[in-house]
Amino acid sequence: MPLGLNEMAVPRISIVASFATIAMLFVSTIWLALAASSFLSQFEDAFAAVNEDDIQVNGRWTWEATLLFEGCDARNGEWNWPSNLADQDDVFWYPGELSCIWEHQGAGDYAHLAIHNVDDENALPLSINVSHPEISIDGDGQNELVEVGAGDAIIIPLRLESMIEEADFSVTISHISLPTAEVVLDVELFTDGSQKDRHTRSEHLDVEYYVSDADSGDYIDDGTLPAYAGEDPRCGNDGLPWVCYIEGFGWGLVGLDVDNIDPQFSSGTTHVVILPPDLAYGDRDGHQYQDTWMRFELTLGRLLPA
């Protein structure tokens, strides 16, 4: 009998294999249970019941949304645009919901969705839904869950997935545990007649800028800077803070366009963005522009090495 095998060898191997399989299933079940428990615990607070009064200020939900592009106005004409944005006494950026314009340069172009949490004490778990199938949230579908820190603002790119001459769509931002608590941003999308090859996102750029006071129009500064479109990888806790600019500056560059013919030397397109203090110098106590709403004209000069 070769190698001492007998009629019991195969059954014994089967029994051992069965026990091993049972053990693996047992361990897998425990692992899945722990993972599910960890996942649910992370979102337990977000989905807990919420009192409407706790997420309201003066009858409004404690969040608002806008595109950073110049050209927004009162949604449905329900309120009057402030004569001076910086002189508002309210905690909100704007008196109500907005309708904004997005003038694009072809498929792949970006707009900048800004969401502001006016509650200085509580973070906001929110759900974002885009109503048009050809407009995505940074290339990842029409729905996303986010958390906005207490008194903070976040910026999320919206991307045009295919060439559309014009369209109207809405972005609805609702509270995760109270879906009826929602803020709606209407967007009018149309082409400027051109279709560029490249639309910047996380790229290193050479940018010309001109900045003025959004209320008075007074000149503040101009020049040329190297910058990243979006978050600058050189910034952060372990980064190079001396090369970090105000938050809204980098995000305002996302979607600047250039043709592939000569991306290093051809002039690109221009964005005109309006930055509330929260996205400019509002977090720098004592800064001369701490309370200033800023208007930036941002022009892509050329793409730089990463």
The predicted model scores a pTM of: 0.81
- pLDDT score recorded for residue 240: 53
Q: Looking at the structure, do residues 118 and 143 belong to the same domain, yes or no?
A: yes
Q: pLDDT 10s per residue in the chain (306 long)?
A: 333 334 444 444 444 445 555 555 555 555 555 554 554 444 445 455 788 989 999 899 999 999 999 999 999 999 999 999 999 988 999 999 999 999 999 999 999 999 999 999 999 999 999 999 999 999 999 999 999 999 999 999 999 999 999 999 999 999 999 999 999 999 999 998 888 888 999 999 999 999 999 999 999 999 999 999 998 887 865 555 556 789 899 999 999 988 877 766 667 899 999 999 999 998 888 889 999 999 999 999 888 887
Indicate whether 224 and 184 sit together in one domain.
no
The CATH number of residue 83's host domain is 2.60.40.10
* The pLDDT of residue 194: 81
43 and 56 part of one domain: no
The pLDDT value recorded for residue 305 is 84
CB burial string 117-144: b at 16+ within 10 A, e below: bbbeeeebbbbbbbebebbbbeeeebee
CATH number at residue 285: 3.10.50.40
Is there a single domain that holds both residue 183 and residue 213? Answer: no
**Residues 112, 240 within the same domain:** no
Domain identity same for 269 and 290 = yes
Q: Are 26 and 101 in a shared domain?
A: no
The answer to whether residues 185 and 68 belong to one domain is yes
Number of domains in the chain: 3
Are 274 and 171 within one domain?
no
Calpha distance 243→302 (Å, rounded): 19
Q: In terms of residue numbers, what domain contains 38?
A: 2-47
Are 65 and 163 within one domain? yes
